[in-house]
Copies of this chain bind each other. A is one copy, B any other.
Amino acid sequence: MSSRRGRPPAYDREAALIAIAEAFRVRGYAAASLEEIARAAGMNRPSLFAAFGNKKAMYLAALEDYRRRMRVAVSPALEGDGALSKVLVDFFDAVIAFYHEGTAPGCLVLCTAPAEALADKEIGRALADLITEIEEQLRRRILRAADEGKGVRDPAGLAQLMLATLTGVAIHARAGVKQANLKRFARANIAAAMPGTG
């Protein structure tokens, strides 16, 4: 008996996934070579293959882990108890900070998956799933505020506007808009979508 036989892995799976996601996020799926990915993860290709499968499996695993980390990064802000406009401001601040972790700005999913979504149905589904999850989280939180009598006019419409704002933030960040301006963009959208609130 024992935990594991054989030579122990020299890599940490979660750290490797973060490095893989970072390589794909900066270069895009098709342009990122396995050589670059292996170097970023501090592994060599055979180890990469043994751990995560082929390139597409690596990408899908990185997408899934990225989505989980994003959820962890933004959930606290979204589950806060303040005024809805403040909750949304905090949510976008968390999103923007998350999109600026690492060496370059942008969202792994929203900036790299669309290019591949047509040629590969699994990638397309991963993209659609993330969008659906974010929209549902936003709608759930906004409906909660509406139920609490916070005077939300059109909960579903507001959720869609905030979802659109999120895609805008992701694309704008990739186009070089600075964090401060992204935050202004988010605040302006929240204010314009919630007239009458602060």
Contacts and interface: CB of A to CB of B under 8 A. Distances in A.
Contacts of A53: none
Most buried by B among A153, A154, A171: A171
Contacts of A172: 131
Contacts of A191: 154, 157
How many interface residues does chain A have, given as a range? 35 or more
Interface in A11-53: 26-31
B163 A168 contact: yes
A116 interface: yes
Contacts of A185: 160, 164
Protomer copies:
2
Most buried by B among A157, A165, A175: A175
A189 interface: yes
Interface string A153-187: 11011101101110110111011110000000100
Nearest 8 interchain pairs by C-beta = A157-B192, A28-B115, A164-B168, A30-B30, A30-B31, A111-B114, A128-B175, A164-B164
Interface of A: 26-31, 104-106, 110-112, 114-119, 124, 127-128, 131, 153-154, 156-158, 160-161, 163-165, 167-168, 170-172, 174-177, 185, 188-189, 191-193, 195
